[in-house]
Each structure stands twice: as structure tokens, then as C-alpha cells.
């Protein structure tokens, strides 16, 4: 079971890196939202022992944080 978690983690990281390579045309806020979601997904997965709910929750929280951090000041 431990090997499956390692494979899932590597696959998640690979998909995140490949997905982020498409960020060239994105705004700074969009890019930070995507990065936050990727980092949050990995962190949520690690902190919950690979739980899918933890991964999705981490991605959601990370995406919101990435979006809010880079909001332009009005």
C-alpha cells in the first residue's frame, strides 16, 4: 500500500508540473491560483495520508489562498 501512495504522489506532482507549464498566457492572479491549488493538493494528500477528500480540500484551500494573495489592490 505504501508503494501505491508513492506512485500517486509522483503522478500528482508530474501532472501539476505539466499543467503549470501551460501558465504562460495566464495573468499573475490566475497563475498564483493554479500554483496554490497544486501545492494545496499535495499538502492535503500528505497531511491526510493520501485521502482523496484531503487532496481535494487542500487544492480548494490552496487555490483560494493563491487567488487572494495576488488580488490587485483597489
Write out the three cell numbers for 6.
508513492
Judge residue 3's burial from the number of C-beta atoms within 10 Å of its C-beta, 0-12 exposed, 13-18 middle, 19 or more buried: exposed
Judge residue 60's burial from the number of C-beta atoms within 10 Å of its C-beta, 0-12 exposed, 13-18 middle, 19 or more buried: middle
pTM value is 0.66
The count of domains in the chain is: 1
In a domain, 37, yes or no: yes
The Cα–Cα gap between 51 and 64 comes to 20
Place of cell 493563491: 66
State the residue range of the domain holding 52: 2-18+27-69
Question: Could you report the per-residue pLDDT of 9-40, keeping only the tens digit for each?
Answer: 888 888 877 776 776 678 888 888 988 998 99
In a domain, 74, yes or no: no
Amino acid at each position: 500500500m505504501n508503494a501505491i501512495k508513492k506512485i500517486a504522489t509522483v503522478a500528482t506532482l508530474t501532472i501539476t508540473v505539466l499543467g503549470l507549464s501551460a501558465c504562460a498566457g495566464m495573468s499573475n492572479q490566475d497563475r498564483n491560483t493554479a500554483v496554490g491549488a497544486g501545492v494545496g493538493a499535495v499538502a492535503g494528500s500528505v497531511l491526510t495520508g493520501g485521502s482523496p477528500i484531503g487532496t481535494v480540500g487542500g487544492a480548494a484551500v490552496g487555490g483560494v489562498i493563491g487567488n487572494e494573495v495576488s488580488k490587485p489592490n483597489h
